[in-house]
Structure 1
Amino acid sequence: MWWAFPGLHLLRRRQLAQRLPTGPLRDFYACPPPQRSNALTDTTFAVLDFETTGLDPRHDHIISLGYVEIRQLAVRLDSAWHSLVATPRVLPENTTVVHKLTDDTVARGRHLEPVVAELLGKLSGKVLIAHQARIELGFLQRICNELYDAPLILPWLDTQELAQRHLRRQQLPMEKRTLRLFNLRARFGLPDYTAHNALYDAIGTAELFLALVFELNPRLDGRLGDLKPRWS
């Protein structure tokens, strides 16, 4: 849903904050999200990337995550965070090839619950950004329902959708491969980087977001609502 009815989401967040027991998700809801009237320069964005065993949140598992913040429209590398996540599932061969993570490596990762608790603390009061964000959101929703018996309600932006909006405005062709993260970075003159590492992908997504914001508003004087965030 577009940010047309933020009051409904804010009401639901307040209800959950009152109903939930003390814990990470209740603390998350106690911190209000940014308002659509916020200047982009005054908004903190949380850029997230998951590496997973597959794309189906009902059956697959997170094996690593990367996180970095954007504040005052700049990537803040001092906020960068990477964590491996232990999973009981044997990694599919294609996962090992793509992400360069083995069963032994993932077995040394942290348990999911404390990782999610830390992540929720980082997401509080921010707008989530991801590339193909529905993947991250799908896993987050399943996990929050499993751990806390409640949904995750937060504003989010998808760099793939922002890129589609820009390309459509410029009447430029759009193919599926055109919208991949590394291809979009090349289109906007951003340097190559090591793909399929969760932290590098998060930083790469953050840089792409800033390039897209500049293309959509070169004066960088826009408001959060101009980007039409969605709510999960």
Structure 2
Amino acid sequence: MWSRLVSCALARRSLALRSPPGPLRDYYRAAAPRFDLPYTAAEFLAVDIETTGLDPRADAIVSIGFVPIVSGRVVLARAGHHLVRPDRPMRAEAVKIHGLTDEALAAAAPLAEALPPLLAALAGRVAVAHHAPLERAFLARACRSVYGAPLAAPWICTLALAKRRFARADAPIGEGELRLATCRARLGLPHRRAHDALSDALAAAELFLAQAALASGRAPARLRDLLT
């Protein structure tokens, strides 16, 4: 884990120098979180995206939702939700999932206008997502296309944290056990609308706080022990 954190820190330093002036460089120049501190001392940004498909190389982001977590509390007043006009047609399979059609997105903002609010909200914070590798890959590619450099952020994956609990209990993982709604229900959290970027970001934020509390003993878990 430490080697990964060191690599991330070095990448941030390099990208801060290489990135052109603008939102991505501002993000990299913000103070990075302290990974050796308790997670309660850090701030987080739960993030969810909806896309035209599941391949970051061939598909595009169509919606971005994010919710800050400050002092262990979800801050809905500073949440954000942005529709994004894709540069390729929407796939029928994707429309069935999130309901966003080409017509609904025709007046949406281009990616270059949707990324700055996200990057500003993420500065100095740790990103949280359910199945974070998907958000990580799409947002890294999106930043590369807009700014010429990728987004290299520290991430916490609530799906990975759920898998850890199964592993510690030496319990098998059944079909659907790692879905966001199922993970929430297992911890007594209420149902939230699925496949809406803002609603899913809020759902991931609440799930993370419950998981982090469970991962803590007499003292809060260290941030580095929760990272993906």
TM range (shorter): over 0.9
Residue 215 of structure 1 aligns with an amino acid whose one-letter code is L
Deviations 1:178-197 (A, max 9, x none): 00111111111111111111
Q: CA deviation at 1:125?
A: 0.7
Q: Paired residue for 1:213?
A: 212
* Residue 94 (structure 2) pairs with residue 123 (structure 1): no
The aligned residue for residue 112 of structure 2 is: 113
Structure 2 counterpart SS, 1:120: helix
Give 1:76-95 correspondences, 5 Å limit: 76-95=75-94
What's the secondary structure of 1:189's corresponding residue? coil
For the 8 Å contact 1:40–1:72, the answer to whether it is kept is no
Q: Which runs of 5+ in 1 are unaligned?
A: none
How far apart in 1 are the matches of 2:202 and 2:142? 24
1:64 and 2:63 are equivalent in the alignment: yes
Tell me how far apart the structure 1 counterparts of residues 98 and 222 of structure 2 sit (CA, whole Å): 36
Change (3 A) 1:207 1:171: same
Q: Which residue of 2 aligns with 1:40?
A: 39
Q: For 2:176 and 2:115, how far apart are their aligned partners in 1?
A: 31
Superposed, which structure 2 residues align to 1:1-232 within 5 Å? 2-217=1-216, 219=218, 221-227=220-226, 229-230=227-228
**Preserved CA contact (<8 Å) 1:48 1:130:** yes
Give me the identity figure in percent: 42
The answer on whether the counterparts of 2:46 and 2:205 sit within 8 Å (CA) in structure 1 is: yes
Aligned-residue RMSD, C-alpha:
1.6
User: Contact 2:159 / 2:178 at 8 angstroms: preserved in 1?
Assistant: yes
User: SS in structure 2 opposite 1:4?
Assistant: helix
C-alpha deviation, 1:170, in angstroms: 2.0
**Residue correspondences, number:** 228
Q: Distance in 2 between matches of 1:146 and 1:88?
A: 12
SS of corresponding position for 1:15: helix
What is the letter of the counterpart of residue 181 of structure 1? Answer: L
1:178 aligned counterpart, secondary structure:
coil
Unaligned runs of 5+ in 2: none
